Amino acid sequence: MAKQSKPSERKVWSEFGDSPATERAVPDLPPSQQEVRIQVSRKGRGGKTVTVITGFQHKLETLTNLAKTLKAQCGTGGTAKETTIEIQGDHAQKLLQILVGLGYKAKVSGGK
């Protein structure tokens, strides 16, 4: 069975180094047009609790800046990955208030 490559993994030949054609096009939508989900998770993290926010449609640099702001508001660490932000600890309600204040359509998903 032949392995199929994802569109983001395709390499385009370029005589002069990396081509912008190899970059994945990501829409950088305004917050009011984005629906994000906030979920608290412990799976695969060695028992540590992490608040995961998914559904962002931003460029990585915009997402990184937003993650920095959220980490500062919560007073904790975290990271930005592709379309998600992970914040250390259980900060679902606080993040919900912050994101709604920034104009996102945010919901807490999952329960205890």
Which helix (DSSP H) or strand (DSSP E) does residue 86 occupy? strand 84-88
Residue with tokens 């259980």: 90
Which helix (DSSP H) or strand (DSSP E) does residue 96 occupy? helix 92-101
CA dist 51 and 55 (Å) reads 14
Domain 27-108 of CATH type 3.40.50.2300? no
pTM of the model: 0.73
CA dist 83 and 71 (Å) reads 16
58-112: pLDDT as tens digits: 888 999 999 999 999 999 999 999 889 999 999 999 999 999 999 999 999 986 5
Q: Return the domain boundaries, the chain.
A: 27-108
On the 0-12 / 13-18 / 19+ scale of CB atoms within 10 A, 48 is exposed
13-22: pLDDT as tens digits: 555 555 555 5
